[in-house]
Structure 1
């Protein structure tokens, strides 16, 4: 017979029943708790204490927990070990009658984790894979940047694995009937590849039905696990493998393009040599360029033209490099806005990044080169965002967004009033008391407070005759030698004083979400600007390396001659 557990534990078991393939992190106050087998597993993997909980049954239920403020590191470790984690939050306010409502707000998997660090220059791709009669189709997405792409590859498992490993995919979504197994890659069965009209815009660049189905499979999986709209997803780009030099994984490893053969680290690779980028966005783009070399001569020459311009203009290049140092990862920051996990510090970073764009644009235009001007003109004016952030957000905001301390003084009248009430409540009461004494002529009138009756005006019985109807006093409590009254003004102030702090915190959060929603309208513009910054960063990096090492621009010929004069190995 099934043991009878407490209502809270029954709630947990109901949620766990629907998420049997995930570790359920169940929010209880300031902790995420895990129970039963999840607790035993997590306590071993995270090396945290396993305890027990009285849950209505005779035996104590195995339990372990982590503080919710620092949960991201624990979640990262579980996900790195190949687990899915279902985050269960409180959906209703505690204190109301009955058990607090709870539900899954997000399922975090190896392919969907948001890296908290903005210094991470690696993409985190999740893929979807569908098998068709003559080819495989792959869709890739990095939800931390919004990048989304699709490609068709020949029906060859080596080519398939090569593509997945090249993109460093952590998780592959497949239809249940075609589950693929790969070493070190989580396979996630999912059976909804129906086209989603709501996201029609991101499909505007692709027409291949196979690609649309596979991209839909990935999109629907992401919507299902993230439990929110993904407005930051970028227009899906088709990767045409005919545009790039195809290399198998062994060739790439032997050439040490992005990692060395000794320990698979960046040091000693071509990427290590060329990466003098100053932004995470630029570093990610450079890695993509190295892993997918162009084969179209005109496109290669365009890149070389811009690198040569930056090589020739040393002073402007140095200025550009210094400006880029002040730009945070706008690509990931803009995704956080749409995803809803941005904090006030992130907004300040967006502001400080956007503030330097006019100077960056001016430096680029000063070169007076058409190819550079084309890049510069894509750095559109976003000063309305920086002005709002600078006017509204304090200089050193806290990391949490639901505990106040975010909004500047004088930004919002209601907030200022609440802060004034909190900070000057005693002064107001003293002034109010004196005002009432002057109005009534009762020198012994006093304003007091107790927990049962709240704030009151106390008048001794000897002075009751001085209390006139026009004073609008309402009797609140009778004592042996005095009467206690309240006025609408005091009642209003009581309400404000007792709830000022709570109202302040809630109002600050409402204002913060309004800022977030306002900036969210420009998410795709921010992403476009981020892409331009990434390209500028890569170009200056390649130019700097070329100048420092006296690299010479190659000259193309059509006779298949490869002639190197006085060459030397860049790394060795």
Structure 2
């Protein structure tokens, strides 16, 4: 037993001391080994064998778990996706030439927010690292950085209302990791972790505003940040500087593809907070069961990864400036009207690789040969894409086409340098094309002819010695050798020099073989080193082209989105909305873009007329399951789609610009913070009432249902009165309720209107017609819904008895004026008026026996019957 750790383990302990919160992958030969507690975590999380070897500092057996280095990326990705930080400690010198212990250094720190390798990125979506820095009292600067693409932007958020603004940004952009200062004492990190964000504490000095300002200017090659819109946002600057520094330190790279940032101020876009994004299922399902039921899934038929990311960006940040919205709609309409060009473009785009992420890997230095080959193929398609557009397309399409640079130099360079079918990894070798480098060709020929010489030598020795089973083999310890089996040892020539005894025979060598071995080995080593050097120089050359590649990638993404939105509109019958700077929302035959795709029967469309000065608040009553929630969500989604630049699922839509969409839908306990369903409801309601503007759209579904009927009804009524106010205009509001007393508000508040969803009630059954009509109702048909849900008949029958008893007690002694105007659609029965004569005659007609003039005369007579004019006078 040694007196202390081995030199290699001393290296390990040194690295672990620098990264105590990371899992250290320590390269030892062909494996990455983990030790101690790290090994226990790796064995548990990756389900691999935990062993022990040697002794740790305390003299105990050292736990050990390792993975093959060639398969490490998959294991690392699994750990990082579980929220762990992985520290890669590689051998940085050749073990063959090293004197003493092989030198090792940390080459990269991989965290959830700094993934860049294509094998570790799970999807084409953006992959953000978030940084949070205190700004002024109660305000925080926010920065979002996608290391894989170089996308970088800042924002801000308040700590008020439980960090609602910050949480909304988190839900909007879905960062995988957030960094905060080490001294950060706010409870915000705990809130972020409940949302699935890995929170890492980073040294305080990285968040220093002056240092961050200087570091950002150095990165962007500027002397000021005025051009990026954040010069007066110290918190945002501090967050951006910390995010950049953290990414550079973890990547062990200056990340030259990060060349600037943008400032996203909420006032510049429609505000969709976390609650609204969840309730309307914009990007994720309301219950988290995948993304298939979301608006994003319904619209995203893009052909490229760049387009998919752009589509999501459009959707979570709709525009509020009329001119900008109209420009996007012009681009979508052009593709909608030019079907052949749209289809041709989408076919071309389907062959595009993720140029943006390949550019990021080139800048970082870890782009593989296959990345370069697919990049070349994508860039070669650009002239074909540009050739599809003739005439004078709209401004945004022209801008995108102009931004697609001429990359003929890159295409030529990659074409001359990289073979047609290259390996995925540069370390595999064989990626440089013959003819690109004369010295490489010479070494490659030498290595190839050397191996041919070995084959010929083996045949010659078989013939010379008469040993037909003689073989020439190779291993790393002895190099090339001649192997002879035991039965043939008597035939071995005297000049053979024995090198090794095996179970089956002996291994020999001769001077000629040793000389050729040295030549071949030298050639192969020199070949491998030179090819790696040539490839590294190629990557350095391409790195200068990264800004142009990023511009092209953004342009491709925009064309992809415009054409995809046009494709969706053509497939599903969407129409271009009319955008106004008014308080009107007029929708004819509006549909829910997600629900209609999943129904086995045609979706029943509905009309909507809202405005700030007349029809401001719609009180919507009606049966459970009648479609109230779907209708209200459809209205909100039409507004969002219109302002993102999309056509909408309606026959006609006039959208007065909405600055913010608020929703209060459903009931969810916030168990993580110990809040009840009703408290969550009231917090969400408070957020709406405290931040609403006359340009907002509000969706309220069942306010006050989480408490007693009396309290709930009082709250709901007070909310309607508050939103109505005394001003001449107010926020457009859809208010669904089962508190039927609220329908009286139509008579006392001029901008409140009653609507309900019609049903057909046969007395024994109820059919939901899904159609909204003017007027109100005081029935909810809850017991009928309970029957549909499978509640035992004994329970529903008893519930009906109780309902009848309660209704009997409430009937007043004298006549009572009706409080509602529901159009009950009841099936005819006994006591119903006689069938209309026009219907009776229509049933008896035989069109096959009628002449055209007879048919015309009959039609005129039936019209008079229907209008009550009686028989035609002769």
Q: Specify if TM > 0.5.
A: yes
SS in structure 2 opposite 1:177? coil
For 1:13, the equivalent position in structure 2 comes to 13
> Retained in 2: the 8 A contact 1:6–1:56?
no
Find the aligned partners of 1:208 and 1:69 in 2 and give their Cα distance: 48
For 1:300, the equivalent position in structure 2 comes to 325
> Retained in 1: the 8 A contact 2:35–2:65?
yes
Aligned-residue offset at 1:361: 1.1
> Retained in 1: the 8 A contact 2:328–2:396?
no
For 1:480, the equivalent position in structure 2 comes to none
> Retained in 1: the 8 A contact 2:330–2:394?
no
SS in structure 2 opposite 1:328? coil
2:381 to 323, 345, 356: 356
* CA offsets 1:107-142 (integer angstroms, 9 cap, x no match): 111111225257822111111111122421101101
Pairwise mapping of residues 172-251 of structure 1 onto structure 2 (< 5 A)?
172-179=178-185, 180-181=188-189, 182-183=192-193, 184-190=196-202, 191=204, 192-193=206-207, 194=211, 195-196=214-215, 197-201=217-221, 203=225, 204-205=227-228, 206-210=230-234, 211-251=236-276
Moved more, 525-534 or 228-237: 228-237
Kindly indicate whether residue 146 of structure 2 is the aligned counterpart of residue 122 of structure 1: no
SS in structure 1 opposite 2:108? strand
**Compared with structure 1, are the counterparts of its residues 569 and 518 closer, same or farther at alpha carbon in structure 2 (3 Å cutoff)?**
same
* CA offsets 1:40-77 (integer angstroms, 9 cap, x no match): 12111111000112358864311000111111221122
Find the aligned partners of 1:56 and 1:189 in 2 and give their Cα distance: 29
| Ranges in structure 2 where 5+ consecutive residues have no aligned partner | 456-476, 481-509, 596-874
> Retained in 1: the 8 A contact 2:304–2:557?
yes
Aligned-residue offset at 1:213: 2.0
Kindly indicate whether residue 135 of structure 2 is the aligned counterpart of residue 132 of structure 1: yes
**Compared with structure 1, are the counterparts of its residues 498 and 47 closer, same or farther at alpha carbon in structure 2 (3 Å cutoff)?**
closer
**Compared with structure 1, are the counterparts of its residues 271 and 426 closer, same or farther at alpha carbon in structure 2 (3 Å cutoff)?**
closer
Find the aligned partners of 1:565 and 1:402 in 2 and give their Cα distance: 61
| Ranges in structure 1 where 5+ consecutive residues have no aligned partner | 431-450, 455-483
**Compared with structure 1, are the counterparts of its residues 277 and 230 closer, same or farther at alpha carbon in structure 2 (3 Å cutoff)?**
same
> Retained in 2: the 8 A contact 1:110–1:171?
yes
What is the root-mean-square deviation of aligned Cα atoms in Å? Answer: 2.7
SS in structure 2 opposite 1:424? helix
Find the aligned partners of 1:185 and 1:427 in 2 and give their Cα distance: 57
Relative contact order: is structure 1 or structure 2 higher (C-alpha 8 Å, sep ≥ 6)?
1
Kindly indicate whether residue 170 of structure 2 is the aligned counterpart of residue 164 of structure 1: yes
For 2:84, the equivalent position in structure 1 comes to 83
Moved more, 233-242 or 253-262: 253-262
Pairwise mapping of residues 399-418 of structure 1 onto structure 2 (< 5 A)?
399-418=424-443
* CA offsets 1:274-307 (integer angstroms, 9 cap, x no match): 1110001101110111111111111111100000
Find the aligned partners of 1:554 and 1:243 in 2 and give their Cα distance: 21
Find the aligned partners of 1:81 and 1:558 in 2 and give their Cα distance: 47
> Retained in 2: the 8 A contact 1:6–1:55?
no
Kindly indicate whether residue 279 of structure 2 is the aligned counterpart of residue 277 of structure 1: no
> Retained in 1: the 8 A contact 2:370–2:425?
no
> Retained in 2: the 8 A contact 1:87–1:105?
yes
For 2:866, the equivalent position in structure 1 comes to none
Kindly indicate whether residue 277 of structure 2 is the aligned counterpart of residue 265 of structure 1: no
For 2:544, the equivalent position in structure 1 comes to 521
Aligned-residue offset at 1:369: 4.5
**Compared with structure 1, are the counterparts of its residues 390 and 492 closer, same or farther at alpha carbon in structure 2 (3 Å cutoff)?**
farther
Pairwise mapping of residues 18-37 of structure 1 onto structure 2 (< 5 A)?
18-37=18-37
For 1:67, the equivalent position in structure 2 comes to 68
Question: TM-score with structure 2 length normalisation?
Answer: 0.57
SS in structure 1 opposite 2:221? helix
* CA offsets 1:232-271 (integer angstroms, 9 cap, x no match): 1141110011011112212111111112224342212111
Find the aligned partners of 1:561 and 1:493 in 2 and give their Cα distance: 87
SS in structure 2 opposite 1:82? coil
**Compared with structure 1, are the counterparts of its residues 414 and 55 closer, same or farther at alpha carbon in structure 2 (3 Å cutoff)?**
farther
For 1:97, the equivalent position in structure 2 comes to 99
Question: TM-score with structure 1 length normalisation?
Answer: 0.85
* CA offsets 1:417-468 (integer angstroms, 9 cap, x no match): 11211222488999xxxxxxxxxxxxxxxxxxxx99x9xxxxxxxxxxxxxx
Aligned-residue offset at 1:568: 2.1
Kindly indicate whether residue 312 of structure 2 is the aligned counterpart of residue 287 of structure 1: yes
> Retained in 1: the 8 A contact 2:158–2:164?
no
SS in structure 2 opposite 1:63? strand
Aligned-residue offset at 1:169: 1.5
For 2:589, the equivalent position in structure 1 comes to 566
Find the aligned partners of 2:384 and 2:182 in 1 and give their Cα distance: 53
> Retained in 1: the 8 A contact 2:219–2:259?
no
1:423 to 448, 451, 469: 448
> Retained in 1: the 8 A contact 2:303–2:346?
yes
> Retained in 2: the 8 A contact 1:402–1:506?
no
> Retained in 1: the 8 A contact 2:334–2:393?
no
> Retained in 1: the 8 A contact 2:171–2:277?
no
> Retained in 2: the 8 A contact 1:403–1:505?
no
Larger Rg belongs to: 2
> Retained in 2: the 8 A contact 1:148–1:236?
yes
For 1:444, the equivalent position in structure 2 comes to none
SS in structure 2 opposite 1:364? coil
Moved more, 520-529 or 106-115: 106-115
Aligned-residue offset at 1:400: 2.4
SS in structure 1 opposite 2:426? coil
**Compared with structure 1, are the counterparts of its residues 371 and 338 closer, same or farther at alpha carbon in structure 2 (3 Å cutoff)?**
closer
Kindly indicate whether residue 572 of structure 2 is the aligned counterpart of residue 549 of structure 1: yes
For 2:818, the equivalent position in structure 1 comes to none
Moved more, 189-198 or 290-299: 189-198
Aligned-residue offset at 1:165: 2.2
Tell me the matched-pair count: 519
For 1:40, the equivalent position in structure 2 comes to 40
SS in structure 2 opposite 1:372? helix
> Retained in 2: the 8 A contact 1:404–1:508?
yes
